[in-house]
Amino acid sequence: MRLIGNILWFILFGWWLALLWLLGGLVFALSIIGLPLTRSALELAKMSAFPFGKTVVYVRDLDHRTDGMAQFTGVIGFIFNVLWLLTFGLSLFISFVVAGLIACITIILIPFGIQAFKLAIIALWPVGRRVKSTDELFEKPMGT
């Protein structure tokens, strides 16, 4: 079912939403300072193209870090998120909301609309997040 959902999503909305993420990532890649935004943009472009069966998690939850370095990267991530919000974040947010509204007009595409609204929130604040497969996150470790 995920495969069919991902194919339909890509045809209807995913290709142009992923292109918007890639455009934002390319612009920030041109400046050396914007490379952390580029990584987040590439991660979320993959999610925007094929969102079903994937989830977004915070890096700090993956690393389980609570030391001073985690707080330092949190401050830098905050600054980059504000920069993203002021440049591409708001336009991506609006694009995802429009896609969600278009999908929710029809009864059959409501799951796509819900997915678009989830991605809209992420579009505002992407730095510090990674895309993971839901299977990868919920599998039990070996030997338990």
Beta-bridge partner residues of 54 = 133
Whether 58 and 82 have beta carbons less than 8 Å apart is answered as no
How many residues are listed for the chain in this entry? 144
pLDDT tens string 47-91: 888 988 888 877 766 666 655 545 546 778 888 889 889 988 899
pLDDT of residue 72: 47
Q: What is the model's pTM?
A: 0.77
* pLDDT (mean) for 22-49: 85
Dihedral sign computed on CA atoms, order 122, 54, 18, 39: positive
pLDDT of residue 97: 94
Domain range list for the chain: 2-132
pLDDT of residue 64: 63
3 residue type, one letter: L
Whether 136 and 124 have beta carbons less than 8 Å apart is answered as no
pLDDT tens string 83-128: 889 988 899 999 999 999 999 998 888 988 998 998 898 888 888 7
State CA 61 to chain mean position distance: 16
